[in-house]
Amino acid sequence: MTITTEDKIDIQELTARTYIGLDSEDAGGFASGFADDGVFVAPYGEFVGPAAVKEFITKHIAAGKEDGVRHFLTNHVVDAHEEGARYRFYITKMNIATGPVAIATAGGDCIVKRTGQGWRFKRFQLTIDPAMFGDAKPVVAPVAKSA
């Protein structure tokens, strides 16, 4: 599959909208970026489909995990993939309520596919850097392969 500049912009905007949803404590906004068969893989578990992603994010928000924070996305790389595109980027989670303090860093390694609603996550693998967990190591799913 050929990936155009417009595709790259659309894919980056998909992720921006997903994280703006999370920063607004809008679980539905976060989950709307997933395809019907989309999978969110994180150290917290694996969630299949937008409804499961929304349920997890709703509980995550209710537990206070997103209070007073904002996510910054950088180092965007989009490559052609047999299922659409492979999209990799970094995430910095900042506390913006009590001063700009980085509280976590992570990476996204995603497979996105074109749907009737535009680009959506088929697989969103979130790897939170080990410093977030002290000595514990995060759960890391197998890395997606590029075409």
Joined together, the tokens standing for residue 9 give 């912009």
Joined together, the tokens standing for residue 88 give 């990799």
Establish if 126 belongs to a structural domain. yes
Maximum distance among all Cα pairs of the chain, rounded to whole angstroms: 45
For each of the chain's 147 residues, which pLDDT tens digit applies?
799 999 999 999 999 999 999 999 999 999 999 999 999 999 989 999 999 999 999 999 999 999 999 999 999 999 999 999 999 999 999 988 887 787 889 999 999 999 999 999 999 999 998 876 555 554 454 455 555
For 92, the domain range is 5-133
Overall number of domains in the chain: 1
Cα–Cα distance for residue pair 46/55, rounded to 1 Å: 12
* SS3 of residue 2 by DSSP: coil
In terms of C-beta density within 10 A (0-12 exposed, 13-18 middle, 19 or more buried), how is residue 99 classed?
A: exposed
Establish if 124 belongs to a structural domain. yes
Cα–Cα distance for residue pair 124/42, rounded to 1 Å: 8
Establish if 138 belongs to a structural domain. no
